[in-house]
Amino acid sequence: MNKILTQKYDREFTISLIKKSFELGSQKIVEEIKNSGLLGRGGAMFPTGLKWELVKKRNGKKFIVCNAEEGELYTFKDRFLLKNFPYKIIDGMIIASVAIGAEKGFVYINEKYKKEIEILKNLIKEYKKENLLGENILFKNYKFEIEIIESNGRYITGEETALLNLIEGKRPIPRLKPPYPTQQGLFNNPTLVNNVETFSFIPHIISNGAEWFKNFGVENSYGTKLICLTIDNKKVGVFEIELGKLKIYEIIEKYATLKIKDVKTVLPSASSCLLFPEKFDIKYDFESLKNNNTSLGTGGMFIFTKNFFVFNEIKKIVNFFVKESCGYCVPCRVGLKRVYEMISVVENLKNEKLSDKLDSIKKLSLVIKETSRCALGQSALNSLISYIEAIENGKYRNLY
């Protein structure tokens, strides 16, 4: 069975996990997570164990933040986990608290997830009643509290430092790095920020061990990944797949139940670059996608069939990032809006005029990508740039 995140377990298992965490202690937990090779599933792919170690080594008060904003287009995997496996997130945070020495944790959750927020709040109440959260956890001299903070529905707060600013009551703009949150995060204290999917792996790794986890996936992409499939703007569902074991075309055939000849292009996530049929034989893992000039991102995969007008969706993506920009830096605030204005007038252009206009759009997009303050501006136009390059290379006729 090649599933991890979608395996259920009961409360007795949670109790045994917490007891085991106390027995292992801080250093051994961090070593186990490091040895597992678990990469963060929020999009940046930073080694989870290394991040935990960096926070552990700092002195003073520490915090844990679970990022459950999930505001990106086509992505709804965290909502799936919050609804069906919320206890894994809480257990992962408790284990993390033992590992780094934090007494306070926050779950920063998308305000649109009303049902999931209620589920999480009720679960935290249950954990407190059962001495699994709060003071004297499992009757030991150990304390860890979790607080739910509902987001204001802004995509930018998915960026960890913008999220920290908002929790502090400040304007949600990304901070310059360094210092990193592991050094100076929430209220200037060392802070561990991981997303929902990352925390959900932790109970399984601590229960079964790092080597067990590395039996899943491939080198540099260990474990499984939740993918959210959307076909021509219709949500298909959330699926757990083992990294590096399936190729793009196999995902299309198995989970989207489409024939390859009917697919025009694939966008691995809203902030990544398009993949065309000649690349459908690459494996779905972090390294393979990176080596093919795109990225796995958050796992929100959009599949375009040959009946769908790709350009309209690219415009939608650009407009999304225009609206979600925090407005702090000029390249993102002004540049994205200008790009959207430019692409909104090209549909009626033909031949040389279209070619010139697309060239201008691409040049401006590349400037924005290189000069924006944070990952939003740096990745917002990836799909557009790859689309224009596809036209330049003859994959599309005009704006097909």
* Cβ atoms of 377 and 159 closer than 8 Å: no
For residues 228 and 231, what is the distance between their CA atoms, to the nearest angstrom? 10
User: What is the percent of the chain where pLDDT is above 70?
Assistant: 98
What does the block give as tokens for 396?
């599309």
* Nearest Cα residue to 225 out of 271, 269, 257: 269
Residue 351 has pLDDT above 70, yes or no: no
Average per-residue pLDDT in the chain? 95
Mean pLDDT of the 124-141 span: 96
For residue 355, count CB atoms less than 10 angstroms from its CB and return exposed for 0-12, middle for 13-18, buried for 19 or more.
middle
Q: Residue 93 — very low, low, confident or very high, per pLDDT cuts 50/70/90? A: very high
Q: Residue 352 — very low, low, confident or very high, per pLDDT cuts 50/70/90? A: low
Residue 38's alpha-carbon distances to 95, 199, 200, 201, in angstroms, are 15, 10, 11, 8
Residue 196 has pLDDT above 70, yes or no: yes
* Cβ atoms of 368 and 337 closer than 8 Å: no
What does the block give as tokens for 52?
């935990």
For residues 380 and 318, what is the distance between their CA atoms, to the nearest angstrom? 7
Q: pLDDT tens for residues 214-272?
A: 999 999 999 999 999 999 999 999 999 999 999 999 999 999 999 999 999 999 999 99
* Residue appearing with tokens 């202690």: 25
Residue 350's alpha-carbon distances to 28, 159, 247, 355, in angstroms, are 63, 39, 37, 8
**pTM here?**
0.95
To 5 degrees, how large is the angle CA 125–CA 126–CA 127?
A: 90
For residues 64 and 55, what is the distance between their CA atoms, to the nearest angstrom? 10
pLDDT confidence of residue 356: 85
Q: pLDDT tens for residues 18-50?
A: 999 999 999 999 999 999 999 999 888 999 999
Mean pLDDT of the 149-167 span: 91
pLDDT confidence of residue 395: 80
Q: pLDDT tens for residues 315-345?
A: 999 999 999 999 999 999 999 999 999 999 8
Q: Residue 153 — very low, low, confident or very high, per pLDDT cuts 50/70/90? A: confident
Start-to-end CA distance of the chain, whole Å, equals 42
Q: Residue 107 — very low, low, confident or very high, per pLDDT cuts 50/70/90? A: very high
* Cβ atoms of 192 and 260 closer than 8 Å: no
Q: pLDDT tens for residues 50-76?
A: 999 999 999 999 999 999 999 999 999
Residue 353 has pLDDT above 90, yes or no: no
Positive or negative torsion for Cα 36, 42, 46, 50? negative
Residue 312 has pLDDT above 70, yes or no: yes
